[in-house]
Every structure is written in structure tokens, then in C-alpha cells.
């Protein structure tokens, strides 16, 4: 039996100082995405495993599952993209596309590793559904940078890749099975095994060089002509043309300086279908945000449409930000201490101040065991104590 | 941010010496005696590098959490720990292999033979792939003892020369994988300090390549 004060593995409490800081950031972010025309929605914490659970990009073993009274398997939502796809295809099916939606919700992913790893965390994100143009990818990336800036993060970078370029390069040189192995190595960030695997393939030296050259395609837009040289495949060239287009859009939007092209970027084995990106902040070891184009998901819910979006881990963003500012924000409120005889006077004063937007704590002296110790915590203390009191 | 320090997490002992030697060959000025003594953190200001010494098994953890930008870790440790880090370069030092070993004439007839190891994840994965049902027992050292005293039939461990196995009357039964030390990089450092880190990787890979071709000249 767990101890009385214990929480399930991976769950945390949020105390007032952190809560205030988090809501301030959330507010800033939502204002910013609101200015870009994104409307927030909320969906239930529980979804059906067979629909949203299966469509989600999160691995099965990371899902929290339970049974409802009819014996249907439910999941605690592991991401918001699949629920939003469900909503767009059902409750919002008559809304014309493109749709611009945002969300800020707790997500649940069970962890196999250490106890402290978060199994419930808040994510903020946007989805732009129904616009297949590069401007949609550009808008989502630009919005991510301005959102991070609005949250107060100054030093960050985004890496941008394209799933189709890599897939085309693999298809041109190796079998589907080999391509799957190579993609998995890149997904696992295991570049050593990627090269070793290429080395032992039965391929021409040129083909091996092309596959190994992929690893060097990382940096500014100057890698794009280089990427073009190692393949004649039409789809690969189309993907590169898309990135060029995207780059131009992002330059026009004024956000290209924190970007880096990385054609090795694999964020998920088979979920994304086009441009993908990941965001990193200084002072934090984990990527803060990620996203990309997923044109096949909406079809699973019966309303085929292209879509792109991003998600930001709010807990990690908060950590990255606190490191910058050095301290957490403390809200100061004013304390009105009163005794029973002067209660009415105290209430009048409190109402007056509250109407002016001040935070007022009203405290009957009789309810506090140690008035001095209690009052010490407040910047301003106003006393309405009876005549007999020695105030 | 070109003037940032690069922090390395390094395993104590021989691997540290070998890796420091590679860095020196790659042109980074590290003093000869700088791992002498018992200091856990040493600095090489001329090279803008900071090193801290850790237990080999913990190196990927430090790198994953970003307290070190770069680490040097054995492939065995990476396979066991499965941390989210970039594995960018095979340093080709401290070569050995992961193997299954046991008494040459082992007792049969168990429902699930017992396997003693420091690497429970690797052992579980390996026997699963072989379709063999086993019970994995985690030990933290002196693995060779387990079959001798009857705790387990076989062990999974790293073998370099095979001398320890032989001295204890054990034989290597199967090879699981080859192991060398790898250079690993934190995913955020990989992006935020890309210029410095790319240069370190580039310079080291030249040295490693030279070493490899020299080795091939000798043997072939």
C-alpha cells in the first residue's frame, strides 16, 4: 500500500509560485497565437483506444489504458493532435478549411525509466489543418519562434528537415527494408551504426557515398544545392524546392536566423509526411518543442486533409526560462488583520482595495495562532483591531 | 556563443587516458598530467574544455540531461542504457566484445536457465531475440563468480582478452556484439554549440581514420 502522501509514478504537484509563473507564460503564449488567429479548444482527457489511441503517434507501451463500464478500452490522451483531428472531422466538420486551432492541455505518457520522469505534463500547441502550401509550414514555424519569444526565451534554435527528401534518397539507392533500418538509426540518433551499416551493404561505392553524404547535409541554406547534387530523383528535388520555398517564406517572416537545415532529422518513424522541425533552448538539455506536417492523419477520421502543427512542453519551457531569470515570480498580497468588533470596517477597506485590483487577504486575528509569524510574510499589513487591543 | 566552454563527461581510468590522447593528437592542448590526482573536475582553458570524471555506466545519463555536452562511453553502456543522445563517432579505442560465457559442460534441464550479468537489458533483449527463455539476474561486479558458485548457468559480460574467463575455467559460448568507445553528444548541445562540436568531431574523426588505416597497414 502506498504511503498516504505518495503520488503515482511520474505525477507532480504544482505549488502556487510555480503555478503563477506557468499561467503567466501560458497567458503570454495564448495571446500571441490569438494574434495570429488561432482559436483555443479543449477535448476530453479520456478517449477511445481504438480511435484516438491507435491514431496517435505515441507508442502503445506509453499509453495509460483503462476500461469503461461497457468494457471498451480508454486511453488518457497521450497527445492532442489525434483528438484535434477527431474534432475537425466530427464536431467541426462543417467548418471550412483551413482551420487554425490551439490547445493547452495535460498529456499522459507512462514512463519506463526513472521515477522522476514526468508521466503527466502540460503541452501547448497549434494545428493548422487544410492548407497544403509551404506557407502553412512557414506560418507554423514562424509562430513557434514568436511564441517562444513571447514566453521570454531569447536564445533558441530550430532544426528543420524534410521527410520526403530522405525517403526519396533511400528509395533511389536501397530496398525498402534497408531504408527502414537506416531510418531507424537516424531516429535513434545513432550515426555511428548508420555509417557502419551503410559500409557493409552490397552497394556501389557511389551509392554508399551518397548515403553517407546525407549525414553532412546540415547547416544553413547552402546545404540545399549540395543535397541536390547527390540525387536525380524527382521527389527529392521537389522536397528541396519546398525547403527553398519555405526558407524564403521564413526570411520574409523575419525568423530565418535561428533556423538550421538538417536533412537527417527523424522525429518519428512514420508519422510525419513532409517538413519536420525541433526547437532547442539554451540552458536546457532536452528539446523544448517539435512539430511537422502530417497529411495522413485526418484521413483516418474520415476527413482527408493536410495538416501541420507544433507542440511545446510547458514544463521544460518553464525550466529553461527560470534558469534565465534566476528566481520565480512571487505575488505579493496585502494582509488585513481584523478583530470581530471592527469586522465591517475591515470588509469595507478590503472591498475598496480589491476593486482597485489589489490582492487582499482578510484574516481574523482570532484564527491565527501566532499573529507575528503570520504577518511577517506580507509586504503590507493593515490592522483593524478592537480598542482594547494594544495596536 | 562561439566562446562557450565544452563540457565532457569521461569514464575514469584507461579510457580517459586514451580519449585525452586522441584529443591531443587532434590538436587540443591538454596537459600531460592533467588526470593525475583525485580531482573529479579538470579544466583545459587553452582548449575551452572542461572534463569531469564519472562512472562509465553513468556517462550517457550526464550527457542526456545536458550537464555534459559530450561524453565518451562504451557501446556496451549505450546499448544497456538507451539514452536519448547522438552517437556521432566510433573512437575505436578500448575494443572488446559482449559475450555469453559459461562452464564448458553446463548442467541442462532447467525450465529457464539463469543468466548473471551487469547488463540486464542487453541480456534480456539478446535472449529474447534468440527465442530462448531465461531468467536474468543483475549483479554489479565479479560476474565470473556466478557460474562457479551455482548462482547462474551462464553470464553476459564484456570480454577483452578472455584471460579472466580462462583463469576461472569458463568458456566463451556466443558473441553478442563488438564494443568500442563512442563519442556521444547531447541533442541540444548538438544544435546550440554546433560549430564547436562539429569541429571536435571532424578533427577526431581524422585522427581515428589515420589510426585505423595505420592499423590495417600493419595487419594486412
DSSP of A3-45:
-TT---TT-----HHHHHHHHHHHHHHHHHHHHTT-EE----S
Same domain, A260 and A121: yes
Instruction: Please report which helix (H) or strand (E) contains residue B59, including its range.
Output: helix B59-64
Nearest to B190 by CA among A211, A297, A189, A140: A189
Same domain, A316 and A355: no
| B74-83 residue pLDDT tens | 999 999 999 9
Nearest to B181 by CA among B84, B90, B48: B90
Q: Where are the beta strands (DSSP E) in chain B?
A: 6-11, 41-44, 49-54, 70-74, 86-90, 96-102, 114-117, 135-138, 154-159, 171-179, 181-185
Nearest residue of A to residue B62 by CA position? A285
In angstroms, rounded to a whole number, what is the distance separating the alpha carbons of residues A297 and A81? 9
Specify the pLDDT at position A329.
40
Average pLDDT over residues A304-315: 96
Q: Is A80 annotated as a binding residue?
A: yes
**Residue A287 pLDDT grade (very low, low, confident, very high; cuts 50, 70, 90):** very high
A134 inside domain:
yes
| A340-371 residue pLDDT tens | 999 999 999 999 999 998 889 999 999 999 98
Tell me whether A189 touches chain B (CB under 8 Å). yes
- CATH number reported for the structural domain that contains residue A96 in this entry: 3.30.930.10
- Which one of B86, B182, B192 has the shortest CB-CB distance to A157? B192
Same domain, A235 and A367: no
DSSP string, A57-126: SS-GGG--EEE-TTS-EEEE-S-SHHHHHHHHHTTTTTSPSPEEEEEEEEEE---SS-TTS-SEEEEEEE
| A196-209 residue pLDDT tens | 999 999 999 999 99
Specify the pLDDT at position A219.
92
Specify the pLDDT at position B111.
76
- Read off the C-alpha cell for B19: 580519449
Percentage of residues in chain B having pLDDT higher than 70: 92
Residues of B in contact with A281 (CB under 8 A): 188
Q: Is A81 annotated as a binding residue?
A: yes
In this predicted structure, the answer to whether residue B112 has a pLDDT above a threshold of 90 is no
Same domain, A83 and A202: yes
Same domain, A125 and A238: yes
A2 inside domain:
no
Q: Is A353 annotated as a binding residue?
A: no
Same domain, A344 and A204: no
Specify the pLDDT at position B108.
61
Min Cα–Cα distance to chain B from A192, Å: 6
DSSP for residue B151: S
Percentage of residues in chain B having pLDDT higher than 90: 71
A358 inside domain:
yes
Choosing from A320, A351, A370, the residue where a domain stops is A320
pTM given for the model:
0.88
Specify the pLDDT at position A10.
86
Tally the domains of chain A: 2
Same domain, A40 and A100: yes
Average pLDDT over residues B6-12: 93
Same domain, A336 and A227: no
Structural domain including A348 reads: 330-384
Specify the pLDDT at position B75.
96
In this predicted structure, the answer to whether residue B137 has a pLDDT above a threshold of 90 is yes
Specify the pLDDT at position A328.
40
Specify the pLDDT at position B156.
96
Nearest to A315 by CA among A50, A77, A105, A143: A105
Specify the pLDDT at position B215.
72
A389 inside domain:
no
Same domain, A181 and A255: yes
Q: Is A134 annotated as a binding residue?
A: no
Residues of B in contact with A215 (CB under 8 A): none
Which ipTM value was assigned to this complex? 0.86
Q: Are A284 and A316 in contact (CB under 8 A)?
A: yes
| B28-65 residue pLDDT tens | 988 776 666 778 888 888 889 999 999 999 999 999 99
A193 inside domain:
yes
Choosing from A273, A290, A320, the residue where a domain stops is A320
Average pLDDT, chain B: 90
Tell me whether A184 touches chain B (CB under 8 Å). no
Same domain, A153 and A231: yes
| A94-146 residue pLDDT tens | 999 999 999 999 999 987 666 668 899 999 999 999 999 999 999 999 999 99
- CATH number reported for the structural domain that contains residue A376 in this entry: 3.40.50.12590
End-to-end alpha carbon distance in chain B: 45
Average pLDDT over residues B149-176: 92
- Read off the C-alpha cell for B205: 574523426
Specify the pLDDT at position A14.
87
Specify the pLDDT at position A326.
40
**Residue A391 pLDDT grade (very low, low, confident, very high; cuts 50, 70, 90):** very low
Q: For chain B, which domains are there?
A: 6-94+180-219 (3.40.190.10), 102-176 (3.40.190.10)
Q: Where are the beta strands (DSSP E) in chain A?
A: 39-40, 46-48, 65-67, 73-76, 99-108, 120-129, 156-162, 218-219, 259-262, 275-281, 289-293, 307-313, 334-338, 360-364, 380-384
Specify the pLDDT at position A235.
95
Cβ within 8 Å, pair B87-A157: no
Choosing from A288, A320, A352, the residue where a domain stops is A320
**Residue A262 Cα distances to A67, A160, A183, A197, A217, angstroms:** 42, 6, 14, 21, 6
In this predicted structure, the answer to whether residue A270 has a pLDDT above a threshold of 90 is no
Same domain, A184 and A237: yes
Which tops the pLDDT comparison, A212 or A373? Answer: A212
Size of interface A-B (CB pairs under 8 A): 47
**Residue B106 pLDDT grade (very low, low, confident, very high; cuts 50, 70, 90):** low
Same domain, A377 and A266: no
In angstroms, rounded to a whole number, what is the distance separating the alpha carbons of residues B176 and B99? 5
Q: Are A162 and A203 in contact (CB under 8 A)?
A: no
A186 inside domain:
yes
- Angle between helix A176-187 and A191-199 (nearest 10): 150
A6 inside domain:
no
| B174-206 residue pLDDT tens | 999 999 999 999 999 999 999 999 999 999 999
| Site from A59, A114, A116, A191 to mutate, B interface, most B CB atoms within 10 angstroms | A191
A390 inside domain:
no
- Read off the C-alpha cell for B107: 548442467
What is the torsion angle, in degrees rounded to the nearest 10, for the CA atoms of residue B205, residue B206, residue B208 and residue B212? 130
Q: Are A331 and A359 in contact (CB under 8 A)?
A: yes
In this predicted structure, the answer to whether residue B2 has a pLDDT above a threshold of 50 is no
Amino acid at each position: 500500500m502506498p504511503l498516504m502522501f505518495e503520488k503515482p509514478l511520474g505525477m507532480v504537484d504544482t505549488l502556487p509560485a510555480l503555478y503563477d509563473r506557468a499561467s503567466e507564460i501560458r497567458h503570454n503564449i495564448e495571446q500571441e497565437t490569438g494574434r495570429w488567429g488561432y482559436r483555443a479548444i479543449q477535448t476530453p482527457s479520456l478517449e477511445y483506444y481504438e480511435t484516438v489511441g491507435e491514431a496517435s503517434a505515441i507508442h502503445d507501451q506509453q499509453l495509460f489504458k483503462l476500461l469503461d463500464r461497457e468494457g471498451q478500452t480508454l486511453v488518457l490522451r497521450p497527445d492532442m493532435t489525434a483528438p484535434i483531428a477527431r474534432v475537425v472531422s466530427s464536431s467541426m466538420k462543417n467548418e471550412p478549411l483551413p482551420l487554425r486551432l490551439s490547445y493547452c492541455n495535460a498529456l499522459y505518457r507512462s514512463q519506463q525509466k526513472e521515477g522522476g520522469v514526468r508521466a503527466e505534463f502540460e503541452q501547448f500547441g497549434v494545428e493548422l489543418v487544410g492548407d497544403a502550401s509551404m506557407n502553412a509550414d512557414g506560418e507554423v514555424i514562424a509562430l513557434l519562434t514568436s511564441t517562444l519569444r513571447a514566453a521570454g526565451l531569447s536564445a533558441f534554435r530550430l532544426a528543420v528537415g524534410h521527410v520526403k527528401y530522405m525517403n526519396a534518397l533511400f528509395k533511389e539507392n536501397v530496398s525498402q527494408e534497408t531504408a527502414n533500418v537506416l531510418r531507424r538509426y537516424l531516429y535513434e540518433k545513432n550515426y555511428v551504426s548508420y555509417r557502419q551499416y551503410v559500409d557493409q551493404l552490397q552497394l556501389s561505392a557511389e551509392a554508399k557515398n551518397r548515403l553517407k553524404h546525407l549525414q553532412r547535409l546540415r547547416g544553413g541554406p547552402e546545404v540545399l544545392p549540395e543535397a541536390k547534387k547527390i540525387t536525380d530523383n524527382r521527389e527529392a528535388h521537389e522536397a528541396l524546392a519546398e525547403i527553398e520555398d519555405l526558407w524564403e517564406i521564413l526570411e520574409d517572416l523575419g525568423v530565418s536566423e535561428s533556423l538550421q537545415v538538417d536533412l537527417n532529422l527523424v522525429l518519428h518513424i512514420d508519422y510525419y509526411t513532409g517538413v519536420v522541425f525541433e526547437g532547442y533552448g539554451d540552458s536546457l538539455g532536452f528539446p523544448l518543442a517539435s512539430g511537422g506536417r502530417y497529411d495522413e492523419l485526418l484521413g483516418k477520421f474520415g476527413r482527408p486533409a493536410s495538416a501541420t502543427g507544433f507542440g511545446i512542453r510547458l514544463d521544460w519551457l518553464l525550466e529553461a526560462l527560470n534558469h534565465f531569470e534566476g528566481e520565480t515570480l512571487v505575488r505579493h498580497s496585502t494582509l488585513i488583520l481584523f478583530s470581530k468588533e471592527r469586522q465591517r470596517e475591515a470588509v469595507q477597506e478590503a472591498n475598496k482595495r480589491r476593486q482597485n485590483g489589489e490582492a487582499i487577504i482578510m484574516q481574523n486575528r482570532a484564527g491565527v495562532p501566532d499573529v507575528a509569524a503570520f504577518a511577517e510574510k506580507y509586504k503590507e499589513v493593515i490592522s483593524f483591531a478592537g480598542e482594547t487591543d494594544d495596536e | 556563443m562561439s566562446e562557450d566552454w565544452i563540457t565532457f563527461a569521461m569514464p575514469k581510468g584507461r579510457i580517459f587516458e586514451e580519449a585525452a590522447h586522441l584529443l591531443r593528437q587532434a590538436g587540443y592542448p591538454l596537459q600531460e598530467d592533467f588526470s593525475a590526482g583525485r580531482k573529479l573536475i579538470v579544466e583545459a582553458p587553452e582548449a575551452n574544455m572542461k572534463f569531469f570524471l564519472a562512472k562509465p555506466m553513468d556517462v550517457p545519463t550526464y550527457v542526456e540531461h545536458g550537464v555534459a555536452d559530450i561524453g565518451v562511453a562504451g557501446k556496451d553502456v549505450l546499448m544497456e542504457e538507451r539514452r536519448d543522445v547522438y552517437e556521432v563517432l566510433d573512437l575505436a579505442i578500448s575494443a572488446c566484445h559482449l559475450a555469453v560465457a559459461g562452464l564448458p559442460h553446463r548442467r541442462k534441464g532447467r525450465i529457464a536457465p539463469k543468466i548473471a550479468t551487469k547488463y540486464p537489458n542487453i541480456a534480456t533483449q539478446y535472449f529474447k531475440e534468440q527465442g530462448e527463455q531465461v531468467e536474468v539476474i543483475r549483479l554489479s561486479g565479479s560476474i565470473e563468480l556466478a557460474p562457479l558458485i551455482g548462482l547462474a548457468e551462464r553470464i553476459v559480460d564484456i570480454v577483452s582478452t578472455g584471460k579472466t574467463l580462462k583463469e576461472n575455467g569458463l568458456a566463451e559460448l556466443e558473441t553478442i556484439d563488438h564494443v568500442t568507445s563512442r563519442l556521444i553528444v547531447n541533442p541540444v548541445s548538438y544544435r546550440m554549440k554546433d560549430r564547436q562540436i562539429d569541429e571536435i568531431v571532424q578533427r577526431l574523426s581524422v585522427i581515428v581514420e589515420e589510426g585505423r588505416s595505420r592499423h590495417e597497414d600493419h595487419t594486412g
